[in-house]
Amino acid sequence: MKITLKDGSVKEYASPVSAYDIARDISEGLARNMCAVEIDGERTDFRTVIDRDCTLNILTADDKGGLATIRHTAAHVMAQALKRLYPGIQLAIGPSIDDGFYYDVDYSEPITEDDLEKIEAEMKKIVKEDLKLERFEMPRAEAIEYFKKENEPYKVQLVEDLPEDAVISFYKQGEFTDLCAGPHIMSTKGVKAFKLMKLAGAYWRGNEHNKMLTRIYGTAFPKQSQLDDYLFMIEEAKKRDHRKIGKEMKLFMFADEGPGFPFFLPNGMVLRNELMKYWREVHYRHGYQEIETPVMLNQSLWITSGHWDHYGENMYTSQIDEETFCLKPMNCPGSILVYKNEPRSYRELPLRYAEVGLVHRHEKSGALHGLMRVRAFHQDDAHEFIAMEQVEDEVKHIVELVDEVYKKLEFTYHIELSTMPEDHMGSDEDWEKATNGLKTALEHMGLEYEINEGDGAFYGPKIDFHVEDCLGRTWQCATCQLDFQLPLNFELKYIGADGAEHMPVMIHRVVFGSVERFIGVMIENYAGKFPTWLCPVQARILPISDKFMDYATEVCEKLKDAGIRAEVDERAEKIGFKIREATLERIPYMIIVGEKEKGSGQISVRSRFAGDEGSQDIDVFIKNVKAEIDDRVRRPEKEAEK
């Protein structure tokens, strides 16, 4: 057998050998640290015996798959602790997830947040016991009887869903046995740093008609220092929660009369309008024409587009003149109607339409989360109609636009290419052509990307841009989707240079995605300390007493005349209180005026960026702040206030 390792080297064996033994053959240290392996790209247990030629990638805790394996074992340790502490508790499922693990359980008495410390303590005992995880198999019928005997009805259901001839895999550690496909690390001792995080409710199998179970979330890391860093990040994220900051800064609100439908307050509208002003400037420079299409269109349009079949359960409907109309969940069919409004020529291509359209999507109440998950939002769409030979150049153009915007807003990002989902429109041949078009464009630009299998839109593959915030969290925002299906469904045409009719290719593209969600991401990334050009109030004038109110008003009017958003704090409060209030509201510039300032005609400046900046001539201050605003630059924050 030839075993090709990740570095390209090849090891040969005359008889079947376990992946663990191959690791030992390389080095004892590697064998000690391995968590799992990938055999021909599929992650599996390192105890797996290999009996054929294959590629082998040995996963340690430093690899994403290795860390997921540690967390999966942590879920089993937690389940074992629960079985010890709560006799009669019933287990459902317990996988690893992106930031940790969870287990869904059913118990006769409530498990509360106060119980987490007790569960953690029992888990630590199990880790110290250094229990080996041993894999074994059982026929389906025998597995069903086993779980019936153990009073595990959820496990019975899971096994019953498998084919009758299935052989079921189990993992055993000490007295605890669980249904599991794996993989797992060698021993419970490998779960070195963990923390139980929270409780939540979860319907069995995600179906609201099923019983509500208790979901216990935790996380685990190879080292305590990594866990400490993660817990610090969680606390920092709580401080930056956009819902908390949005309330403090009076940016937006929600009301019981419209759950999931955000209200933007005056300060929030200033922020949003400034962001969209920049968006429009960039799009004008890049050759886009802005349009607006109706928020409601008839059902037949959505049937033609495929949205009704693939997205109907998320759409709001209404009856008008005995005909069904739908609130649009996406803007694309409206752009198609604009394209079809008149005959098109190859000379017009690429034809770029941009629209900041209000869309509505029915989200379940449990999924709603501030601005991050709402039922109505503005999508900063663009729909481009191009010839097939323009795909590469147009994708490059879009990537350059996204890069420009994200650099201005100080976001780094990585790219994923999402491929054909199970629920899709069109032939495999069309999907292959579209996917290869996106791949070629990215590769010719020299851009690195990851493949996200099966996560494309139902009408075509897409390039997704995942922005990274200051806490290292990633958010999928911009996307570029190639579509052959909607032009076909709507019979779109243009007259080519040869005088014949041709079908255009359609590109769906956003930069922010949901504008509301992007604002939520920005709030958390900046912790509400926006660059001055985005701040609702850019300068607040703080008179030391009422005697200087006239001068404060004079200064304020001069700033306003220069285009700086300014206001006077007219409250009869001490200056220290006014400074603290302005600091909490994250106002970039505080201008303090008293006897000295009025006498000299100057101002005392205190900023969010440098603290006390001393006395300044008002015209110099205006010139400097205007340059900061007009150039849309951000001054670095004081180290203590980052």
What would the mean pLDDT of 611-619 be, rounded to a whole number? Answer: 94
Q: How would you label 239-256 residue by residue, b for 16+ Cβ within 10 Å and e otherwise?
A: ebebbebbeebebbebee
Is the pLDDT at 445 greater than 90, yes or no?
no
Distances (CA, A) of 633 to 121, 565, 630, 642: 50, 16, 8, 17
Residue 332 is a catalytic residue? yes
Q: Which helix (H) or strand (E) holds 186?
A: none
> Secondary structure of 189-219 in the HEC alphabet?
HHCCEEEEEEEEEEEHHHCCCCCEEEEEEEE
Kindly give the pairing relationship between strand 539-543 and strand 566-568.
Answer: parallel
d(CA 113, CA 394): 52
pLDDT in tens, 120-165: 999 999 999 999 999 999 999 999 999 999 999 999 999 999 998 9
- pLDDT for 128: 96
User: How does the average pLDDT of the chain come out, rounded?
Assistant: 93
- Where do the structural domains in the chain lie, given as residue ranges? 2-60, 65-237, 259-293+330-526, 532-641
Residue 383 is a catalytic residue? yes
Q: How would you label 184-223 residue by residue, b for 16+ Cβ within 10 Å and e otherwise?
A: bbbebebbbbbbbbebeebebbeeeeeeebbbbbbbbbbe
Lowest mean pLDDT among 418-422, 545-549, 619-623: 418-422
Query: Pick the catalytic residue: 283, 508, 529, 586?
Result: 508
Residues ≥6 apart with Cβ < 8 Å to 590: 539, 540, 542, 578, 579, 582, 583, 605, 606, 607
Query: Pick the catalytic residue: 381, 430, 469, 483?
Result: 381
Q: How would you label 294-309 residue by residue, b for 16+ Cβ within 10 Å and e otherwise?
A: eeebebebbeebbbbe
Residue whose tokens read 């006390």: 612
Query: Pick the catalytic residue: 424, 462, 606, 634?
Result: 462
Tokens encoding 114: 């106060």
Query: Pick the catalytic residue: 361, 397, 517, 608?
Result: 361
Tokens encoding 530: 């926006």
Three-state DSSP class for residue 528? coil
**Contact in structure between 245 and 527 (CB atoms under 8 Å):** yes
The CATH code of domain 2-60 reads 3.10.20.30
CATH match of 259-293+330-526 with 3.30.2130.10: no
pLDDT in tens, 268-282: 999 999 999 999 999
Residue 403 is a catalytic residue? no
What would the mean pLDDT of 301-306 be, rounded to a whole number? Answer: 92
Three-state DSSP class for residue 629? helix
Residue whose tokens read 């010890």: 84
Query: Pick the catalytic residue: 379, 390, 538, 602?
Result: 379
What would the mean pLDDT of 52-78 be, rounded to a whole number? Answer: 94
Q: Which helix (H) or strand (E) holds 304?
A: helix 299-305
Residues ≥6 apart with Cβ < 8 Å to 49: 16, 17, 18
Query: Pick the catalytic residue: 35, 180, 326, 332?
Result: 332
d(CA 460, CA 543): 59
Which is more confidently placed, 162 or 472?
A: 162
The CATH code of domain 532-641 reads 3.40.50.800
Residue 361 is a catalytic residue? yes
d(CA 305, CA 337): 11
Residues ≥6 apart with Cβ < 8 Å to 550: none
What would the mean pLDDT of 554-561 be, rounded to a whole number? Answer: 97
pLDDT in tens, 594-614: 999 999 999 999 999 999 999
Degrees (nearest 5) of the Cα angle 620, 624, 625?
115
Residue whose tokens read 């055993």: 172
Query: Pick the catalytic residue: 344, 383, 466, 529?
Result: 383
- pLDDT for 52: 92
Residue 466 is a catalytic residue? no
Residues ≥6 apart with Cβ < 8 Å to 209: 203
What would the mean pLDDT of 58-64 be, rounded to a whole number? Answer: 90
Q: What confidence category does residue 639 fall into, taking pLDDT thresholds of 50, 70 and 90?
A: low
Tokens encoding 528: 């509400």
Domain boundaries 65-237, CATH class: alpha beta
**Contact in structure between 634 and 532 (CB atoms under 8 Å):** yes
d(CA 502, CA 348): 13
pLDDT in tens, 72-115: 999 999 999 999 999 999 999 999 998 999 999 999 999 999 99
pLDDT in tens, 218-253: 999 999 999 999 999 889 888 999 999 999 999 999
- pLDDT for 377: 96
- pLDDT for 642: 40
Spell out where 361-422 has E strands: 376-386, 412-418
Residue 608 is a catalytic residue? no
Q: What confidence category does residue 641 fall into, taking pLDDT thresholds of 50, 70 and 90?
A: very low
Q: What confidence category does residue 422 fall into, taking pLDDT thresholds of 50, 70 and 90?
A: confident
Q: Percent of the chain scored above 70 by pLDDT?
A: 99
